[in-house]
Structure formats: structure tokens, C-alpha cells
Structure 1
Amino acid sequence: MIYIHKKESSEPEYEFVERKGLGHPDTLSDALAEFLSVNYSNYTLKNFGAVLHHNFDKVGLLGGASFVKFGEGYLTKPIRVLINGRASTKFGDKNIPVEDLLKSWASEFLLNKFRNLIKESDLEIHYNLSTQSSPGKTEDFKSTNTPRKFWFEPRNFDDLPEIKKLFSNDTSLGVGYAPYSKLEKLVLDIEETLNSEIFKKDHQWIGSDIKIMGTRHDQQFGVTLCIPQIANYVHSVDEYKQNLEQAKQVIFKISQNIGINNLELSCNTRDNLETKELYLTAIGSSIESGDEGLVGRGNRVNGIISPTRLMSMEGACGKNPVYHIGKIYYVAAHEISKKIFEKFGIANEVSLISQSGRDLLDPWKTFVSLYNSDSSDMNQEEQVRIFVENELKNIPEITKDLLGHKLRLF
């Protein structure tokens, strides 16, 4: 059932938006979980013809320890990787070297993110996977031969019921909205610019664990952020200060390009220049020194944390990309909302609510809120309804986009 609601929208008096940068431990955990899921999915698709059951949405990272001074930085204790979750370990009579694959992919991921890590001494990988299925199987005679009992050790395609018909694995929801507000765009643009390869090419000192909080009260915009610097490229307090000034000038330019000319900007507010307690790091992330990261604690699937907007606390990264509602519906809601705005020019919100076991392409409830649309145009409402119905049928395309690295979830 699709419900269309038309609402009058007035800009709230205030909003606040956060983004945890690519090197933040929570974002790293999200990205690693998704990297493992995509690689595992493509591996089983290539070798067995289907994406086998798995979920890596409980992956975690535990911080190591580091030595840092101007001009020098290195790890003294390793970063610990917790590979948690579940995965199919065989298909038919063929075993899958899941542990070796996941450990190799996890090392590849982190070594690519932090080029100066040493695999042997700076990474410690803990493998904690299970092959137990969720509640539902019993030991009664009639249920001992059902797919649920062989969920993570499928005998053949008959033990992969989603191949015949997609169904919701859980009762959950996905929500999305479009377009971004001016503040949301500002926060995203700042982090994506400072963490871009283009910027880093000329500013090797900048780390990736950039955390941004943006606020707006009426038309007064404020941003406070933390920017790490990599010790090997920073040789004095003066260089450190100059680097921050360079970053600030870039941020002011981004702000002006968006149409914000009254930005209140604060940077590295915890720094103490007298005692030299600074955000100086060995690899550019707090994961090097005691901080921890977990899937689902960071950015939502649209790249930000926006508590004053429609959002869900579901951790999407690492979930099965074929049928897991906590991933598929969350991505679908944002994609549908974005397309509604692009096609009809209407700001909107989309909510998809599932029932466990229900046809995945037929959500239990679908709510679409249209803001500032023409309330007298009933034809427009019907056009949106038909558009959403067609988009729901295209949900399987999301799986292809996820496996093709075409969608960012963090």
C-alpha cells in the first residue's frame, strides 16, 4: 500500500548535521564491512552462480598505539580488526576458504587506506564468524530438510529461496529524503574536498579522520571540525598552524560557493599550542591510538548524520545485498526520493516498511510526503504514486549497483 501525503513545509529555525570522515574509525568499520560483503558476494557469484548468505554488519576495529612527534610517527601496537558476522562456508560439496579470503581482504582494505602501515606488525585480525541461522528451524521431522537448516551450508539453489522469489528477511524500515539542505551540502562538500585525492596530492600532511559538525540557526551557519595532521609531513608548530589556515581558506571558499557568506568556523578546538597537545598523528586517524569503530555508529547511507531529518538507526553496511531489508530498503528509499525530486522537482520524504517473509518488492507500507507541492493537482499525486510503484519493481537493480561499487553507503 502506497500512501501519498502533501504537506506544507517551512524551514525549521535550526538544524544540525554531522559527518564522520573517511578515516574515522566508525566510517572505516562501515567501509570495511561493505568491502567484505561486496567481495564475498562477487566471489560466490562468480564461483557458484549466486550471492550466498552472509552478513558482516557487526565488524569492528580496535585502536592500537602510536609514537608521534614533529617529523616522525609510527604505530607501537597494532590495530585490531574484529571480523564478526556469519557467512556460508560451503556450497554443495565445495568448501569456501572464508577465513583466508576475509583476512586477506581486510588487510588489503586497511593497507590501501593507510599506505604506511606494515601488515605484519601493524594489523592484528581476529576471525569470529558463525554459521548459525536465525531462529526458525526446528528439529521436527518435517523441518529438518528445509532451506533454513542449510542457510549457511546450502546444498544447491533450492536452499537459496530468494533466487525464486525475493522476500523480506526481517521486519524493519528504510527512509530517505531529497534534496539536501544547504547545511547538509556544506558539511558533505567540506569533508569530500579535504579528503579528496586532488587535495591530498598537494597537502600530504592532511589525515583522513576529519570530523565535522555543522549548525544553522535561522540564517546563521556554524561549522566546527577536527582535522588530523600526519607527523611525517609536519615539522613544527608553525607548519601545523599554517596547514590549518590553508584548510580554513578552502572551507570558506566552499561555503561561499554554496551561498553562505556568514560562516562561523572553528577548527581543532582542543589544541593546546603551549603544551603541544595537538591533533598530530602517525597515519591520520584516531584508530592508531586507542579509538574504536563499529558498523552502524557513523554516517547514514546518504553520508551524513542528520537528527533533525527523517533517519533510521539501521546499520546498512555489510548486510546481504540481495534481501536484507536494513540495507535494501534504506538505499531504495533514498534513491526513490532523489528520483522524485529530479523528475517532479518536489522536496519529499520516502519511508518503506517491511514485514518479515513478505514479498520484498511489495513493502507492507510505503509513505511518501510531498512538500510544497500543488495541493490542487490530484493528477500529480497519482503520477508520483505510479512512479513509486515502478521504482519498487526495480529494487533488484540496487543489488547490481552495490556489487558494482556504484553506491556509497557511508
Structure 2
Amino acid sequence: MEILEDPIKSSENARHMGVRVSELHQVPLEEQDLEIVERKGVGHPDHICDAIMNEVSVALSKEYLKRYGHVQHHNIDKALLAAGEVQRRYGGGEVRRPMLMVFGDRATYDVDGDPIPVDELAVDTAKKWLKKNLRFVDPDRHVRYQVELKKGSAALTDIFKRQGKFFGANDTSAAVGYAPLSNTEKIVLQTERYINSPSFKKEFPETGEDVKIMGAREGKDLTLTVALAFVDKFIENESQYFKRKAEVEEDVNRFVRNRVKFDSANVNINTLDKRGRGMDGIYLTVLG
């Protein structure tokens, strides 16, 4: 089935695309035999980069609006969080070399000779986000910052100097969206949010924010595989680690089973762990 808007009647409208709605011929996702869903939590490096760059774009847009009444050209969507170096230790380790946060892409640094403190704004925004979302990360001691944002090209920045009701687009892009979430998607998202909730952290303070969940549904059976960083200052030895991990696993299993209607639902945490291997056999971190 395909539905097309009324025929285009003028050259002005000729630049606009019609709306097309097509039917997708496939087995609904919930009825398919296999479904795999992944969620990277708030402390995962990928999530950190995306969230910080989004906040930088928002902060920069607000600064542009305050100064000039409209948003200036910028592309703030590329970042790198390079690993630091730590010494893990039961009872609390130390950071030997801080992480490196690199900001990339382009921004408008001045308008008609009026400078905008883009670099300072980017770093300040990142520090605020880290302080708000990661309990054990000190934005000043544990992270270094490298701003590699450059000025936008003349052809793109000029768009924002042109008169008219609307600015022209500075890029071509396509967006994909869908709704509603499947039951598997819902429980994976809910579980990550639960593990990183204030109430969970109060009950299990040794769990960090770096969480990744892989949900696999085979028919009516669901398995969640969770990678969950533990913080070494709360753990005195290997035995305590496995004891607390078992308690966390029991709690998360209860949370999941109370919210799904699958034939079976199982949560497995840090499946690479192996007793007797010491620090090499457990998922222990300094900053979580």
C-alpha cells in the first residue's frame, strides 16, 4: 500500500517531498524466534561521549541564542574517551593516569568579531555532566580534556547570515524511528535504569555506573547478560566479591521476573568471572 500527498501544484512546493506510507511485509518482531537487544548504560564510554557532546551542543546553542537570537552553525557530535591507567586493589586502588576526553568537529567561534568561548564552554559542560552522573569520577583529577573543535567552513556559516523566515539546511540526513518498544527492549532498558538508579546504588554501593546489558529472546525464553563494574574500595577480597555479586544477581533477577511474562527469564552478571584467579578473575574497577 502506498499513499501519496496531493500532487505538487507550484514550483515553490516542488522542492518539498510528498509523504509516502508503505506497508512492511514481515513477521512482527514479537513473533519472531530470535530477538537481540543491547543497552549501554550511563557509565559506558560510548554513552558518556554521546551524552556529553549532546550537552555541549545544547549549552552552545543556548549561548548563541542569548547572544544573537538564533543558533549559529555547529556540528558537535564526535568525541573520544581514551582510557587512563589505574592500579586496582582490594579496599581501594588509585588512578595513575587520567582518562582523556577529546572533543571533535566544528563550531562558530565568533560572529562579526565577537568571540565565543567555545572551548571553555565545552570543558565546563563535560565536567558538570561527569560530576552529576558518575559518583566516583572527579572531573578535575581523573579526566584530561583536549578540545579539537575547529571553525566551520565559510559556505556553511554563511547560511546563518542570510535573511528569511527559515535557514537553509547545512546538510542532508535521514532519520529512522519506530514504536512501540518490544517487550524485550522494554525490559533491557528498564533493567539498566534500575541498576543505575539511586535506590539500587544505595543498596549496592559497590556497583558502578559502567553497565552493558545484552538481552536475547529465543521464543518465549529471555536471557540478560550483564557486564557490571564493581568498585574496588568496597571489596576486601575475592570471596566478598562473589558474595556481593550473587546478591546483586538475585536482586536483578527478581526485578526482571516481576516485570515480564516470558516462559523463563534469567539474568547472568559478569560471566567471565572465575574463582581462584584473584584480581584477574573478577570485574573490579577503581572508578566504576
CA contact (8 A) 1:55 1:85 kept: yes
Deviations 1:37-57 (A, max 9, x none): 111111221222212211111
CA contact (8 A) 2:72 2:157 kept: no
Task: Tell me the equivalent position of 2:3.
Answer: none
CA distance in structure 1 between the partners assigned to 2:203 and 2:34 by the alignment: 36
**Which stretch shifts more, 229-238 or 203-212?**
229-238
TM-score, normalization by structure 1: 0.60
Task: Tell me the equivalent position of 2:269.
Answer: 267
1:23 aligns with 2:43: yes
TM-score, normalization by structure 2: 0.84
**Alpha-carbon distance change, 260 to 236 in structure 1, aligned in 2, over 3 angstroms:** farther
- 2:66 pairs, out of 30, 37, 46, with 46
Displacement of 1:207 in angstroms is 0.5
Deviations 1:248-301 (A, max 9, x none): 2232223222223512332211112211221111111xxxxxxxxxxxxxxxxx
Displacement of 1:166 in angstroms is 4.7
Q: Which runs of 4+ in 1 moved over 6 A?
A: none
CA contact (8 A) 1:225 1:267 kept: yes
Q: In the comparison of the two structures, how many residue pairs are matched? A: 265
Deviations 1:217-251 (A, max 9, x none): 11121111111111112222232122222222232
Task: Tell me the equivalent position of 1:282.
Answer: 286
Higher strand share: 2
Query: Which one-letter code corresponds to 1:50 in the other structure?
Result: H
Deviations 1:111-153 (A, max 9, x none): 333344344442211111111328xx4xxxxxxxxxx4646xx
Bigger relative contact order, structure 1 or 2 (CA pairs below 8 A, ≥6 apart): 1
CA contact (8 A) 2:253 2:266 kept: no
CA distance in structure 2 between the partners assigned to 1:22 and 1:238 by the alignment: 28
**Alpha-carbon distance change, 40 to 160 in structure 1, aligned in 2, over 3 angstroms:** farther
**Alpha-carbon distance change, 204 to 20 in structure 1, aligned in 2, over 3 angstroms:** same
Deviations 1:366-403 (A, max 9, x none): xxxxxxxxxxxxxxxxxxxxxxxxxxxxxxxxxxxxxx
Alignment of structure 1 residues 329-408 onto 2, 5 Å? none
Displacement of 1:74 in angstroms is 2.3
1:4 aligns with 2:24: no
CA distance in structure 2 between the partners assigned to 1:261 and 1:245 by the alignment: 23
CA contact (8 A) 1:211 1:225 kept: yes
CA distance in structure 1 between the partners assigned to 2:23 and 2:123 by the alignment: 50
Displacement of 1:205 in angstroms is 0.7
RMSD: 2.1
Identity of aligned residues (%): 29
Displacement of 1:169 in angstroms is 3.1
CA distance in structure 2 between the partners assigned to 1:261 and 1:228 by the alignment: 29
Alignment of structure 1 residues 11-410 onto 2, 5 Å? 11-133=31-153, 137=155, 148=156, 150=158, 159=161, 164-256=165-257, 257-276=259-278, 277=280, 278-284=282-288
Task: Tell me the equivalent position of 2:4.
Answer: none
CA distance in structure 2 between the partners assigned to 1:52 and 1:37 by the alignment: 11
Query: Which one-letter code corresponds to 2:92 in the other structure?
Result: E
Q: Structure 1: 5+ residue runs without aligned partners?
A: 138-147, 152-157, 285-410
CA distance in structure 2 between the partners assigned to 1:239 and 1:149 by the alignment: 58
CA contact (8 A) 1:186 1:254 kept: no
Task: Tell me the equivalent position of 2:10.
Answer: none
SS in 2 for 1:270: coil
CA distance in structure 2 between the partners assigned to 1:79 and 1:69 by the alignment: 19
CA contact (8 A) 1:255 1:261 kept: no
Query: Which one-letter code corresponds to 2:37 in the other structure?
Result: V
CA contact (8 A) 2:134 2:209 kept: no
CA distance in structure 2 between the partners assigned to 1:225 and 1:5 by the alignment: 37
CA contact (8 A) 2:108 2:152 kept: no
CA contact (8 A) 1:73 1:283 kept: no
**Alpha-carbon distance change, 204 to 24 in structure 1, aligned in 2, over 3 angstroms:** same
Q: Structure 2: 5+ residue runs without aligned partners?
A: 1-17
